Amino acid sequence: MSNSPEQVRMARSMYAQMCHFKEETKEQRKRSEQTTRKTAVLVQSIGTLLLLFVVVIGFYISTLSTEFITIVNNMERMNTKLVSMLSNVSRMKTDVSHMNDSVRHMQDVVTSMRYINHHVSGMRGEMKLITEDITVLDQLGEEAMHSIKAMNQRMTHINQNTGSMGVRMRQISKPVKNFPKP
């Protein structure tokens, strides 16, 4: 090809367009890098929030499991005391049977009544311990409800933060959609 003035002018025009295209590409790259940084910070924030969420839930699950273990232990103690009470009832039946057999001998009756009184006072003591255990169980239930309420409040706070992050992500993603196509 010969270097006619028209060809030189076309070559210069194409070169100018290519330089303009490169500048535009650099500008797009800057915007893209800024958007990528913002997105990376947002993703890191979401990851941190999720980690915090997992730690909070783990803490509350640990607390609740400890309280449930305490409740189960108290129930086991109550069952042991109930077994003891049933054995006392069984002994009372035996004592009543002895009393019926020895109605003619008042001394035997008085002795049997003493056994019965002893067992009744033992049952009263067992009933008092059972009542105390029920009170402890009630307190543990209130503590568990308090822990659950606190966990619900933190979950609400986390949900609000997550919603705010979703709005922010949509705001950040809008400029990415409006990039000019090369």
Least confident of 2-6, 47-51, 91-95, 159-163: 2-6
**DSSP one-letter code for 180:** P
Alpha helices in the chain (DSSP H): 5-101, 106-177
Q: So what's the pLDDT on residue 124? A: 86
Give the span between the Cα atoms of 62 and 4, in whole angstroms.
85
**Is the C-alpha dihedral spanning 123, 125, 131, 132 positive or negative?**
negative
pLDDT tens-digit map of 59-80: 999 999 999 899 899 889 988 9
| Residue 111 structure tokens | 């002795």
Beta carbons of 161 and 42 less than 8 angstroms apart: no
C-alpha span between 10 and 20 (Å, rounded): 15
Average confidence (pLDDT) over 107-116: 78
Residue position matching structure tokens 């090809």: 1
Which residue pairs from 106-115 have beta carbons closer than 8 angstroms and sit at least 24 positions apart in sequence? 115/91
Q: Which of 16, 15, 34, 18 is nearest to 182 (CA)?
A: 18
For residue 1, pLDDT beyond 60: no
pTM equals: 0.35
What is the pLDDT, as a whole number, of residue 180?
A: 58
What value does the mean pLDDT of the chain take?
81
- DSSP-assigned letter for residue 103: T
Average pLDDT over residues 122-143: 85
Tokens 């009544």 locate to 113
Q: Which residue has the tokens 């990039």?
A: 179
Determine the pLDDT at residue 107.
Answer: 74
Over residues 20-48, mean pLDDT? 79
- Quote the pLDDT of residue 113: 81
